[in-house]
């Protein structure tokens, strides 16, 4: 589903942050992306979400060579990807419900068809009492859960999550991990960037580890 071949990335004239990355992400697969702070995890997620172009090498996503795609085609491909950004990126003028429902609206579904789905997911992630709240009144952990709900609601083909358990207690982290595992079992490829070793120890999954710019794959 995704293929990286000799991908390198540098910001501006700086040093190469990622070097010679060659690896695949298969459909319906689950992997953790780890490595110390500053290793390039968020950078690699940006490459996967097509918001950053590699300095060299080839990235194939959903059978498309991403270097030759138009901006419009990139936008269409992105609809098949759910993302949890480290800084959440919720829309402050929309309620939690409307933030989470956004991907479904983009797909053209009307509110009657998804009301229960969205409400149920919000209850499941513990935001039942905040369905009609605006993001500015939510705590960091609550925003994170809203961002996760938004990323998974439309059952994307690929889910990218950047430190998705960074702001919650271990018990909730476990619950969120279960949500990602369920999503994976229903067919989504999942990539979770984390440096939380306790979290990775809870699920026996493939690991992509970044170190000194190189990637090591442990199947």
Ligand X SMILES: Nc1ncnc2c1ncn2[C@@H]1O[C@H](COP(=O)(O)OP(=O)(O)O)[C@@H](O)[C@H]1O
The residues binding ligand X (CB under 6 A) are 11, 14, 17, 35, 37-43
Separation between Cα atoms, residue 5 and residue 17, nearest integer Å: 16
Q: Which is nearer to Mg ion, 82 or 164 (CB)?
A: 164
35 contacts which partner out of Mg ion, ligand X, none, CB within 5 to 8 A by kind?
ligand X
Q: Which is nearer to ligand X, 41 or 145 (CB)?
A: 41
* DSSP structure string for 110-163: -HHHHHHHHHHHHHHTT-GGGTT--GGGS-HHHHHHHHHHHHHTT--SEEEEES
User: Can you list the positions of beta strands (E) in the chain?
Assistant: 2-10, 16-25, 30-34, 56-61, 64-65, 81-84, 158-162, 189-193, 206-211, 214-218
43 contacts which partner out of Mg ion, ligand X, none, CB within 5 to 8 A by kind?
ligand X
Report the residue from 1, 8, 17, 42 that binds Mg ion according to the rule CB under 5 A.
42
Q: Which is nearer to Mg ion, 41 or 150 (CB)?
A: 41
CB of 166 to Mg ion, least distance (A): 9
Count of residues interacting with Mg ion (CB under 5 A): 2
Q: Which is nearer to Mg ion, 42 or 60 (CB)?
A: 42
CB of 43 to ligand X, least distance (A): 3
The neighbour count for residue 66, using CB atoms within 10 Å, is 19
CB of 214 to ligand X, least distance (A): 13
CB of 56 to ligand X, least distance (A): 16
Buried b (16+ CB within 10 A) or exposed e, 119-150: bebbeebebeebbeebbeebeebbbbbbbbbb
CB of 38 to ligand X, least distance (A): 4
Side-chain-side CA neighbours of residue 176 (13 Å): 27
17 contacts which partner out of ligand X, Mg ion, none, CB within 5 to 8 A by kind?
ligand X
167 contacts which partner out of Mg ion, ligand X, none, CB within 5 to 8 A by kind?
none
Burial label for 5, CB within 10 Å (0-12, 13-18, 19+), is: middle
Q: Which is nearer to ligand X, 39 or 122 (CB)?
A: 39
Residues of this chain that interact with Mg ion (CB under 5 A) are: 41-42
């Amino acid at each position: 589903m995704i293929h990286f071949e000799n991908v390198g990335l540098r910001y501006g004239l700086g040093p190469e942050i990622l070097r010679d990355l060659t690896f695949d992400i298969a459909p319906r697969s689950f992997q953790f992306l780890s490595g110390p702070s500053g290793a390039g995890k968020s950078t690699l997620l940006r490459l996967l979400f097509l918001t950053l172009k590699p300095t060299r090498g080839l990235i194939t996503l959903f059978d498309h060579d991403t270097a030759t795609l138009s901006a419009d085609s990139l936008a269409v491909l992105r609809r098949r990807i759910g993302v949890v950004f480290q800084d959440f990126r919720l829309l402050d003028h929309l309620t939690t419900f409307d933030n989470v429902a956004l991907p479904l609206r983009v797909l053209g579904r009307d509110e009657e068809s998804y009301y229960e789905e969205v409400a149920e997911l919000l209850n499941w992630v513990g935001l039942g009492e905040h369905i009609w709240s605006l993001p500015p009144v939510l705590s960091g952990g609550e925003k994170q859960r809203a961002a996760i709900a938004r990323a998974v609601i439309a059952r994307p083909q690929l889910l990218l999550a950047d430190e998705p358990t960074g702001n919650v207690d271990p018990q909730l982290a476990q619950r969120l991990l279960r949500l990602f595992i369920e999503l994976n079992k229903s067919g989504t490829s999942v990539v979770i960037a984390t440096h939380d070793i306790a979290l990775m120890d809870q699920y026996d999954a493939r690991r992509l580890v970044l170190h000194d710019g190189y990637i090591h794959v442990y199947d």
